[in-house]
Amino acid sequence: MIAVDTNILVHAHQKEADLHERANDVVRHLAESPTPWGVCHHNLVEFYAVATHPRLWKLPSTPEQACRQIAAWRESPSIRILMDNLSTLDQWLQAAIRSKVRGGQVHDARIAACCLSHGVKELWTVDRDFSRFPGLKTRNPLV
């Protein structure tokens, strides 16, 4: 299964984002495909925070717009919302120690751990920081 990182979701949603058109095409393709794809619960929370942030955008999304976007993605019959579980906690602890994450990096470790605990084969992201988690293959589908 492919999982999608927050930054891809934000680019797909936010029309003023540089990579909006490409990201929107990529996410639409996943949503319309019968092949399962995943989004970690934490990524949806991060998406809401970034999409509604007033200092990041000229026209930030309203809370209602961000929630409607999440609801639209959840309507995809092939989406899987990946929730943290006990395996995720174990994976996160291992990743945190192995990769020596600190500060904000713990959130990337949490996403990597959630993906690994759910058998995700590849995380689509524009963030290179995930390379510190060798068990998770990453790819930027926007290039």
Q: Give 71-77's long-range contacts (Cβ < 8 A, gap of 24+).
A: 73/9, 73/27, 73/31, 73/39, 76/30, 76/31, 76/32, 76/37, 77/34
How far is residue 24 from each of residues 50, 92, 94, 105, measured CA to CA in Å? Answer: 16, 30, 34, 26
Q: How confident is the model at residue 128 (pLDDT cuts 50, 70, 90)?
A: confident
Taking the C-alpha atoms of residue 34 and residue 78, their distance in angstroms, rounded to an integer, is 6
Domains detected in the chain: 2-139 (3.40.50.1010)
* 72, pLDDT greater than 90: yes
For 27-51, how does the pLDDT look when each residue is reduced to its tens digit (9 = 90+)? 999 999 999 999 999 999 999 999 9
Question: What local confidence, expressed as pLDDT, does residue 35 receive?
Answer: 96
Indicate yes or no: pTM above 0.95.
Answer: no
Question: What local confidence, expressed as pLDDT, does residue 36 receive?
Answer: 97
Mean pLDDT of 65-72: 98
Q: Which residues contact 137 (CB under 8 A, 6 or more apart)?
A: 121, 122, 123
